[in-house]
Amino acid sequence: MNIKKTVLFLLSCFFPFFAISQESNSSKSWSYKGYSGGMFVHTGYMQSKKFSVFDIKNNEIEMQIKGATFGLGGKMGVFLHRNFRVGAEGYFSTCKYNSGKYMNQLITEKGSCRIGWGGVTFDLLFPVKKFAPFMGVTIGGGSAKHLIFIERKHNNHVATPIVHFSNPLIIINPAIGAEFFATKRISLLLKLDYMFNVQQNKLPSLTNNTYPRGVRLYFGIHFYHKK
């Protein structure tokens, strides 16, 4: 994502926030309205581009992250407007490597990619009775840590060299979702997001290719304390 696209994206995300600021009696509308927080589990489908690693004999192996991802995290926010929430969140997500490819033959390699990220969140809610659809964005950073085990038989024993590397992330993470209020203080939340690595085009091709992309589905409980 280049700078121009990033700026346009942010403008499109924050336009609704500026719109609600034009309400009448805005000085009364914008003030501390309470806080909310909760824990969430998530799953989804992740896929990276194909890239290469090397075994103990310097043989090139084509790899790819492809499959389900699972993770956990939490979020905390304060309401500065009855429909506007700002806060912070942090998550980790783990996905497995697909089978590798060596000399046009599929081989089974064990490995995983663990992504940890966090940042500042901005949410705009549209409450309708017990439901509150919302749209939001997280801006922050994190890292993607890769761990690959390459098994090779040597005479009567098996060698298992390890490939480990980590890549930094600068993220813009748009999301949409909805909350169902079981009570005034407790809601059940569903959310979908797609995380963009803003600096991916500035990184070496290997680093760019190893970044897994995909949609995540979150579910959790949100606790409220509003004025």
Which of 35-44, 100-109, 192-201 reaches the highest mean pLDDT?
35-44
Q: Is 3-18+32-226 in CATH node 2.40.160.20?
A: yes
Domain ranges across the chain: 3-18+32-226
Whole-number Cα distances in Å, 129 to 35, 126, 177, 183, 184: 19, 10, 16, 11, 11
d(CA 107, CA 100): 5
Range 84-110 average pLDDT: 75
The DSSP annotation for 176-219 comes to EEEEEESSSSEEEEEEEEE-EETTGGGS-HHHHHT--EEEEEEE
Residue 108 has pLDDT above 60, yes or no: no
Which tens digits make up the pLDDT trace of 189-202? 999 999 988 876 55
**C-beta of residue 78 within 8 angstroms of C-beta of residue 35:** yes
Which tens digits make up the pLDDT trace of 200-216? 655 555 567 888 899 99
| Region of residue 104 (left: phi > 0; alpha: psi -120 to 50; beta: else) | left
Q: How confident is the model at residue 64 (pLDDT cuts 50, 70, 90)?
A: confident
Predicted structure pTM score: 0.81
d(CA 221, CA 185): 10
d(CA 28, CA 62): 59
Higher pLDDT, residue 174 or 16: 174
Instruction: Give the DSSP H/E element, type plus range, for residue 104.
Output: none
Of 68-72, 145-149, 189-193, the one with minimum mean pLDDT is 145-149
13-41 in b/e burial notation, b at 16+ Cβ within 10 A? Answer: beeebeeeeeeeeeeebeeebebbbbebe
> E-assigned strands of 7-64?
34-47, 51-54, 60-63
